[in-house]
Amino acid sequence: MENKRQRQRGAMLIAFSILLIVVLGFIGLALDVGQVIGRKTELQNLADNAALAAAPELVGTAAGLANAVAKAKSSAADRSAFQHRTQGAVLSDGSIRFASAFDAPATAWHAAGAVPDPAKALFVRIDTHDSEPSLGSVKTAFLGAWSPALRTLNAGARAVAGRVSVRLTPLAICALSPAPSGLRTNPGPPERKEALEYGFRRGVAYNLFNLNPNGPAPAHFLLNPMGTLGTVGSSAQMSNAAVTPFICSGSMLHTAIGGASIHAHRPFPTELWSAFNARFNQYAGNGCDPQTAPPDTNIRPYPNALPGWWMNMPSGSSASPSASATSLLSVADLPPAALPATIPAASYGPLWSFAKAVQYASPKPAGDYPAFPTSAWAGLYPGLPAAPASNGFYPASSTPYFTSGLQTAPVGNVGVAQRRVLNIALLSCPLPGGSDILVNVLAIGRFFMTAPAASGMLSAEFAGLVSEQALAGPTELLL
C-alpha cells in the first residue's frame, strides 16, 4: 500500500514538473510576444502621429516637403512616443516618403529630395521599417533559448496621411476675361488705375447666377464633387441629393484638380440655391446640417439700408445687370466710356463689405495689390445724381464684415469665421454645348456672400483669387 502511494506521488511530481515547464514556456512566449506587440503598438502610434504632423505641410513646394520632414521627425522625437512613453525616436529620411496618391505603388514613393514634382506630392508615408538605426528590434528573454534566430525580433509600422478633399464649392462660373490680371483705367478725376483679376473687380458684389461674358443668357455650372477627374460621371453623382451636402459644406471630394478636366453640368440647379444659406444659419428645408455646415460667425446680410449703413446710396445685394445683346455683365463691369450718363449710384449695390478695390501694378507686388482708400469711390463708381460714397460708419482700416458694430452672431449654432466666403471655379468660356461636359478650371475666385441666396440670385462680392493648394481640406489618416 505504501509503495503504491509512493509511486502515485512520483508520477504526480513528474507530471507537475512537465506541466510547470510547459506553463513557464507559455509564460515566456507570452512575455516575448507581448514585448513585440507592445513595440509595434508604440511604433504604429508614432507613425500615425508623425504622418498627421507632416501632412499639413504639403503645400506643393520643395519648402513644404522640407517642413513635412521636420514635422515628422519632431513628432517622433516627442518623449511620449516611444519606449513606454519615456523617450522619443529618431526617424531617418529614408522612412519619410511622399507620393501623389495614397495608394501609389512602392516605386512611386520618394524621399523629399528626390520628389519629381513637389506640386503633386500630396501624401506622406511613414514606414518605421526603413528607419536607420532600427526602431523595432526587441530582444527576447525565452524564445532565444529555443532558437538563436529568435533572439531578436523586429516590429514595424506604416502610416499614410494626406488630404482627400478641397474647399471648393461645386459651382463654376465663366471668367469675365481670360487674362489673370488686367488694367481698368477709371478717368476720375483723378485717374484711378484699378486691378482686374480674370475680369472681376474686387469689392463689387456680383449675382453669380446672372453672368455671362459671351451672351445675354446666364451661364453657370454644377461641378461633380465626387466623380473621377477626366470623365463625365453618372447622373446619380449629380443628383440633388448627392451634391447638396457638398454645397452645404463648400467642399469637394478631390485631392486636387490642377490641370485635369472635371465634369460640369449646366445649368446649376436653381432649386439648390437654399443650400448656400446654411452660412446664414438658415437650415429649414435645404438639407444642410449645422455640424457639417456651420453658419458664419457674422450672419448679418448687407442688402439695403440699415441703421449704421456705410454707404450713402445702398441698393440690392449685388450690382445691377447691364443691358446688352452680346454679354451679361453687371453695371460695374461696363467700360468707363460705355457707362450711361444716367446710371443710378445705387445700381452698384453694396460696395466693399468684405474686400476693397485694389490698385493696378505690374508685376503684382509681393503679397498683394495695395487697396484704394474710400476717397476713391467717386472715381471708381461714377453715378447720378452722385457717386456712391462711404460715410462715417465705414471702418478706417478694416471692412464692415470684420467690424463688431456691423455683425450679427448666429443663434443656437456655433459659427465659423468666413464661412460666407465661397471658393468658386472660374472657367474659360464659351464652352462646348451640352448639359454634361468636361471643363478645365482657369483659376479659383473668392466670393463673399453679401446676403442669403434666393431663386436665381446668389449675390457675392469678389475678394480676389486663391490658390488650390491653400484650399486643401483637413488632413486624414488613410492607411
pTM: 0.85
In contact, 388 and 343? CB cutoff 8 Å? no
- pLDDT over 90, % of the chain: 64
Segment among 344-348, 370-374, 421-425 with least mean pLDDT:
344-348
Residue 1: is its pLDDT beyond 60? no
Residue 241: is its pLDDT beyond 60? yes
In contact, 92 and 135? CB cutoff 8 Å? no
* 467 to 59, 262, 282, 365, 435: CA distances (angstroms): 10, 17, 29, 16, 28
Residue 20: is its pLDDT beyond 60? no
Distance of alpha carbon 203 from alpha carbon 395, whole angstroms: 15
pLDDT of residue 238: 96
Distance of alpha carbon 139 from alpha carbon 144, whole angstroms: 8
Characterize the bridge pairing of strands 421-427 and 171-174.
parallel
Over residues 330-334, mean pLDDT: 93
Segment among 41-50, 170-179, 227-236 with least mean pLDDT:
41-50
pLDDT of residue 263: 97
For the chain, the C-alpha Rg in angstroms (whole number) is 31
Confidence of residue 5 (pLDDT cuts 50, 70, 90): low
**More confident call, 223 vs 188:** 223
pLDDT of residue 146: 66
Query: What are the residues whose beta carbons fall under 8 Å from the beta carbon of 431, sequence distance 6 or more?
Result: 264, 437, 439
Residue 192 phi, psi dihedral angles, 5° rounding:
-120, 120
Q: Which residue has the cell 520643395?
A: 62
Distance of alpha carbon 26 from alpha carbon 142, whole angstroms: 10
pLDDT of residue 26: 55
Over residues 182-203, mean pLDDT: 95
pLDDT of residue 195: 98
Distance of alpha carbon 77 from alpha carbon 43, whole angstroms: 12
Q: Across the chain, how many H-helices and E-strands are there?
A: 5, 16
Extended strands (E) in 212-321: 220-223, 261-265
**At 158, which helix (H) or strand (E)?**
strand 158-163
pLDDT of residue 12: 64
pLDDT of residue 244: 97
pLDDT of residue 343: 87
Distance of alpha carbon 344 from alpha carbon 431, whole angstroms: 34
All 3 cell numbers of residue 263?
465634369
Amino acid at 272: L
pLDDT of residue 24: 54
Confidence of residue 99 (pLDDT cuts 50, 70, 90): very high
pLDDT of residue 438: 97
Residue-wise pLDDT for 417-453, tens only, equals: 999 999 999 999 999 999 999 999 999 999 999 999 9
Distance of alpha carbon 343 from alpha carbon 348, whole angstroms: 9
Residue-wise pLDDT for 138-179, tens only, equals: 777 776 666 676 677 788 899 999 998 999 999 999 999 999
Distance of alpha carbon 53 from alpha carbon 243, whole angstroms: 31
Residue-wise pLDDT for 396-408, tens only, equals: 889 999 998 889 9
Q: Rounded to the nearest 10 degrees, what angle do helices 2-54 and 62-76 cross at? A: 150
Residue 340: is its pLDDT beyond 80? no
Average pLDDT, the chain: 89
pLDDT of residue 314: 78
Query: What are the residues whose beta carbons fall under 8 Å from the beta carbon of 182, sequence distance 6 or more?
Result: 195, 196, 197, 199
How many CB atoms are located within 10 Å of the residue 116 CB? 10
In contact, 40 and 153? CB cutoff 8 Å? no
In contact, 226 and 253? CB cutoff 8 Å? yes
Over residues 86-90, mean pLDDT: 81
Over residues 110-131, mean pLDDT: 92
